[in-house]
Amino acid sequence: MKRKVLIILGWICLWQILAAVIHNDILMVGPLQVLSALFHMAAEPSFWISVIATMSRIIAGFLLGTLAGVLLAWLAYEHELIRDILQPAMLFLKAVPVVSFIVLILIWAGGVWLGFAISMIVVLPIVYVNVLEGLMNTDRNLLEMAQVFRLAKMTCIRKIYSRSVKPYFISALSLACGMAVKSGIAAEVIGQSRNTIGNGIYMSKVYLAIDQLFAWTFVILLLSWLFEKAVSILLAKAGKHL
């Protein structure tokens, strides 16, 4: 632990030295300037409005994408035809660059729903593919046992399927959390959605305020970490009830 802290401090010192050597606030700022910019930004109500607006849309998209991914995976598991129909759609969602979706949604729905929609589009195929994989790998012997003993579907889901799907679901969500935040904010930057973190980053580019760009980046990292932690805590709590 102590060694890790020392390593991080070493990197921060290197960053400060690099900023001092370059000595150009448009190209590079040091950690102290970033901290100062962060305090100034946090003192403005618009900062908090942006954070709340961005995260609420991304979280909503994440939740809807997760829910849709789980439901579609279950349908695909139960019906081979649905699985075959969904396969190219999921491949399409995974293969098409996010930026294409961003522009398309921008044209169709404008910037307000951009973070929400992109976060959902990114999360859905990740959750779908992983949950389906978990379902397909469920122990056939236990399912036969459940069939012979006439176990209720809900009991099978809670006691048999959940055990198989759990590791896939957890790894899908931990991957999807970071992806949702990064893609959602990238969409806001491109779409210049008003009162969002993405718009803050865009403005820091327009005004060449690199200290604000770094400060926003730090905020995104922090939010992404907090989001992932919250999801893993919720998953651990939910897992205890299964």
Q: Binding string, 158-187, against another protein, x = CB under 8 A?
A: -xx--x------------------------
Number of H helices, E strands in the chain: 11, 0
- 100 lies in the binding site for another protein (CB under 8 A): no
Q: How far is the CB of 148 from another protein (least distance, A)?
A: 5
- What letter would DSSP give residue 17? H
Taking the least distance from each CB to another protein, the nearer of 1 and 152 is 152
Binding piece for another protein, criterion CB under 8 A, among 69-77, 153-161, 200-208, 232-240: 153-161
Binding piece for another protein, criterion CB under 8 A, among 49-57, 76-84, 146-154, 228-236: 146-154
- 137 lies in the binding site for another protein (CB under 8 A): no
Size of the site for another protein (CB under 8 A): 13
Residue 239 near residue 54 (C-beta atoms within 8 A)? no
Binding piece for another protein, criterion CB under 8 A, among 154-162, 168-176, 185-193, 219-227: 154-162
Among 9, 145, 221, 238, binds another protein (CB under 8 A): 145
Question: SS in 3 state form for 18-74?
Answer: HHHHHCCCCCCCCHHHHHHHHHHHHCCHHHHHHHHHHHHHHHHHHHHHHHHHHHHHH
> Torsion over CA of 116, 122, 125 and 131, rounded to 10 degrees?
-80
- 85 lies in the binding site for another protein (CB under 8 A): no
Residue 173 near residue 62 (C-beta atoms within 8 A)? no
Distances (CA, A) of 75 to 4, 131, 143: 46, 11, 17
Rule CB under 8 A: which residues touch another protein? 141-142, 144-145, 147-151, 155, 159-160, 163
